[in-house]
Amino acid sequence: MVSSDEARKEVMSKVPREKLSEDEAFQRSTKETNELFEARVNAAVAKFKKLDENSVLLLDKNHPPNALPGIIDQLDALENKQYRLELVALAPRTFQRLKGLPFSAPFIFQSLCRLLDRKEHLTLSNSNKTDEELIEIFFMFVSLYLGVQEFDKAFVSKYELDGQLNVAFTFEDPDLQLARNLE
């Protein structure tokens, strides 16, 4: 697995922080983080060239639709005659989606609750942000998906993916069980 958050944390730890807020350090680390993430993806794929079996590389990076072409182009450039890349998106399985979004109200609510309950993140601290600031950041991210009606065959086709795997993320999904203390 290659994690964008781990790359960001490593880069941010090197950014001089005397006069920078956490948000400023985050912004200043973007280019170098992307370069480090790309280098780690390239290194991981290079290891696969030595294997005679199927391999899986999981990219832990929340790619909104506008960022997909860049990462897809990067991965396509790595493909050669020794191996074949198949790009499969992991997407939340949701029901009763909100108009103009691929997410349902329960998905939005549970994701927002997770954000507000989370004390720390690898790269951003919730402790120095108000709930209102966190909510604003959350909905700015959600807004990047406006116009994506759902993660379906049309989505896979539009971004030239080889497939997609819809995963249960929230308790609206009948495949997930509530913990006994929440029943």
Question: Is 11 domain-assigned?
Answer: yes
Please say whether the beta carbons of 157 and 79 come within 8 A.
no
Dihedral sign of CA atoms 61, 65, 70, 72 in order: positive
Question: Count of CB atoms within 10 A of residue 8's CB?
Answer: 24
Instruction: Scan for tokens 């951003």, then name that residue.
Output: 124
Q: Of 12-16, 57-61, 115-119, 165-169, which has the strongest mean pLDDT?
A: 165-169
- Render pLDDT for 59-114 as a digit per residue (tens, 0 to 9): 777 778 888 888 888 777 776 666 677 888 888 888 888 999 999 999 999 889 88
Domain that holds residue 23: 1-85
Question: Is 162 domain-assigned?
Answer: no
Q: Residue 150 has what pLDDT?
A: 82
- DSSP H helices in the chain: 4-12, 22-28, 30-48, 68-78, 105-117, 131-143, 153-158
Question: Is 66 domain-assigned?
Answer: yes
Question: Is 17 domain-assigned?
Answer: yes
Provide the whole-model pTM: 0.73
pLDDT over 80 at 137, yes or no: yes
pLDDT over 70 at 17, yes or no: no
Question: Is 65 domain-assigned?
Answer: yes
Question: Is 179 domain-assigned?
Answer: no
What DSSP character marks residue 147?
Answer: T
Structural domain count, the chain: 1
Question: Is 98 domain-assigned?
Answer: no
pLDDT over 90 at 53, yes or no: no
Question: Is 78 domain-assigned?
Answer: yes
* C-alpha distances out from residue 181 to 33, 111, 174, 178, Å: 40, 20, 18, 8
